[in-house]
Amino acid sequence: MKIVVYGATGMVGSQITEVAVARGHEVTGVSRTGKPVPGATAVAADLADTATVVKLAADADAVVFSIPPDRTGGPAQPTVDAHARIIAAKPAARLLVVGGAGSLEVDGSLLVDSPEFPEPYKPEAKAFTQILADYRASEGLDWTLVSPSPVIMPGERHGHVVGTDSPVGVSVTTADFADAILDELETPAYRGRRFTVASKA
């Protein structure tokens, strides 16, 4: 499979890229700097450049977006807007969006709305809640959004479990998360839906 990974040098994106390469896929790793990525073709591009997204998608089977909103105090809205433009452009490839855990539901309420949800992460969580709603409202688009467990961190493989709109565990390692994403790309089970992933241990 030809897979494009946006955010290929980030904590999650680099792990997705590594797993995709290890499984024998042809990978294009996209970052703002175009930094070399082992085993992948490096490309410099920004999520906001919709024309480049469409161009790369035209020659790929799937495009993975592993790019969070600004975490330096800037607004999250540009990320929402970038996805809205991508949705409107209807790229030819399958789209898999790495979202946040805040849009997961417990007893009918969003995690982001719970009193325990960390205040610093709320802008990102609300952005991805809107992004999920926008993809759900889209037509003629082959998309999937994947939410991690409330805690995601670098770590080894333990095996993973998946669910749909409610958490299936407290935490997930980036290795287990990447494995679940590649499993979904190789054997789709959640087209036009969101799923979530947790580590078994």
pLDDT tens-digit series, residues 71-97: 887 899 999 999 999 999 999 999 999
Residue 23 has pLDDT above 90, yes or no: yes
Q: How far apart are CA 139 and CA 99, in angstroms?
A: 19
Residue 163 has pLDDT above 90, yes or no: yes
Q: Which residues form the domain of 95?
A: 2-199
Residue 201 has pLDDT above 80, yes or no: no
What's the pLDDT at 150?
95
What's the pLDDT at 74?
85
DSSP 25-44: -EEEEEESS----TTSEEEE
Give which of 180, 122, 118 is closest to 147, Cα–Cα.
180
Query: Exposed/middle/buried for 110, CB within 10 Å: 0-12, 13-18, 19+?
Result: middle
Number of domains in the chain: 1
Residue 173 is classified by DSSP as E
Q: How far apart are CA 107 and CA 66, in angstroms?
A: 28
DSSP 74-118: --SHHHHHHHHHHHHH--SSEEEEE--STT-EETTEEGGGSTTS-
Read off the pLDDT of each residue in 87-112 and give the average, rounded to a whole number.
96
Residue 73, both tokens: 């105090």
Read off the pLDDT of each residue in 9-25 and give the average, rounded to a whole number.
97
pLDDT-based confidence at 129, cuts 50/70/90? very high
CATH code for the domain in which residue 194 is found: 3.40.50.720
Is the separation of the CB atoms in 172 and 148 below 8 Å? yes
Residue 189, both tokens: 């089970």
pTM of the model: 0.96
Residue 71 is classified by DSSP as -
Residue 190, both tokens: 């959640």
What's the pLDDT at 70?
85
